Amino acid sequence: MATIPKVVTAGVISIAVGTVLYNTFSRKRRDSIEDEASEPLSSSVKSPLSVPTGESSSDTVEYAQTSITNMFSGLVGTVMINLGVQLGLFTTAIRLKEFTSDQLAIEAGNLSPRLVKEWLYTLTCHGIFEFNPDTEKFIILPSFGMVLSQPGTGAMAELILTMCGRPEPYSAVKEAFKNRGGTSYEDYPGFSIMNHNLCVVKRAKDILVNHYLPIISKELVEKLHKGINVAEFGCGCGHDLNTLAKAFPASKFYGFDLLEDSIKYANDEAKTSGILNVEFHQQDINELKTSETYDFIMVFNVIHDLTHPTKVIQMIHSLLKPSGIFLMADVNSSSHLEENLGRPMPKLFYGISVMHCCSISLGKDGTGEGLGAMWGRQKALEILQAGNFKDIKIINGEPPEVLFVCKK
């Protein structure tokens, strides 16, 4: 079986970024998750960059220039958000409510007044702050204050910058374009700690125990209370597995991940929390050394990063007990571009996929399947069926996740 590149936790990026953004503006309550993922996405939405026919070439060029400037501004805004989180500027602005640039600079820790003023000007242009020229005071808009006070916002911004704002990933992806190859985890320095920070954010949610399991299978919850074997492939920092192990002490949990730092974080969390019914192992899934079979196997946002996902799905099928359940969570998207146009998340996820998920899934030699973050529900069903799963249920998870519940 072909080797999977060392990025088993990398798909967390897409979900974490989308969850922070999407949940902020979504009006769906977490306790009203509906089984509606089978509904087709609209295929009639035009691209946001579509220009009606009949417009003059000068208008088209002007529109294009504006659109491209907005794209450039997006990355600059991410840098400014990261600075604001790291320097405590947002929390200070929320506390002060109304302030001059000098007041914010002093209250945030005696920072440079001139640089704080320029930072405020930048994000006022982005619409995060409002400015009163009569009083020369700023206020942060309440909706933005709510979003920026969430712990996930800083981790999200830092992760985007790790992927898109550092020279190493950019150079590696550029070479992958020219060489018809891909990238490897070593091309993304700092990813492990960024991924760990996002795992820390997830600790406050516990949506797996409180929301996902009850809608997946009430019988599974009963079995977890009685005691079964559970595995997670690509467990990352191990938070989901540690959460389950703490909630179901009669069951035994096994986590596998290729990244040494991730396993360390997972073990540290288990030790700190006094969790004794969980084990974490650093292993390549294709070279998995286990005599265990499992009643429940989980994979969160991992499959689209693998070089040969169909073979991995087949392996997972073989490790399940006859009545076992496989839970695969991934980005809720269509496999067809035209059905993703006009929606808020695809422009972010497609770009992240270029810089990480798709490039990683091609492998350094370019022989991988190259699914990428936006592989979509249709392709996911195709691969699950090729992996011998027949009983597959699709459930909308917390946006932007979709859950594939597969029975052997």
pTM of structure: 0.78
pLDDT of residue 18: 45
In the chain, the number of structural domains is 1
Average pLDDT over residues 182-192: 84
Give a yes or no: residue 224 inside a domain: yes
Reported as half-sphere exposure (CB side, CA atoms, 13 A), residue 23 has a value of 23
Pairing mode, strands 294-300 and 320-331: parallel
Q: How confident is the model at residue 345 (pLDDT cuts 50, 70, 90)?
A: confident
Which stretch of 1-10, 223-232, 278-287 has the lowest confidence by average pLDDT? Answer: 1-10
Report residue 139 as tokens. Answer: 């206020």
Average pLDDT over residues 151-161: 70
Residues 289-316 pLDDT 10s: 778 999 999 999 999 999 999 999 999 9
pLDDT of residue 166: 77
Q: Return the number of other C-beta atoms located less than 10 Å from residue 72's C-beta.
A: 9
Evaluated on CA atoms 52, 53, 59, 64, the torsion sign reads positive
Is the pLDDT assigned to residue 203 strictly greater than 80?
no
The span from the CA of 106 to the CA of 99, in Å, is: 11
Is the pLDDT assigned to residue 126 strictly greater than 70?
yes
pLDDT of residue 27: 37
Structural domain boundaries, residue 234? 168-407
Which stretch of 92-96, 193-197, 274-278, 344-348 has the lowest confidence by average pLDDT? Answer: 193-197
Residues 33-71 pLDDT 10s: 334 344 433 333 333 333 444 444 546 888 888 888 888
Give a yes or no: residue 61 inside a domain: no
Average pLDDT over residues 358-381: 94
Give a yes or no: residue 37 inside a domain: no
The span from the CA of 223 to the CA of 229, in Å, is: 10
CATH of the domain at 202: 3.40.50.150
Give a yes or no: residue 186 inside a domain: yes
Give a yes or no: residue 121 inside a domain: no
pLDDT of residue 286: 67
The span from the CA of 14 to the CA of 358, in Å, is: 12
Q: How confident is the model at residue 14 (pLDDT cuts 50, 70, 90)?
A: very low
The maximal CA–CA distance of the chain, rounded, in angstroms, is: 73
Dihedral angle of Cα 32, 36, 40, 44, to the nearest 10 degrees: -20
Give a yes or no: residue 247 inside a domain: yes
Give a yes or no: residue 379 inside a domain: yes
> Residue 304's closest CA among 282, 332, 278?
332
Give a yes or no: residue 269 inside a domain: yes
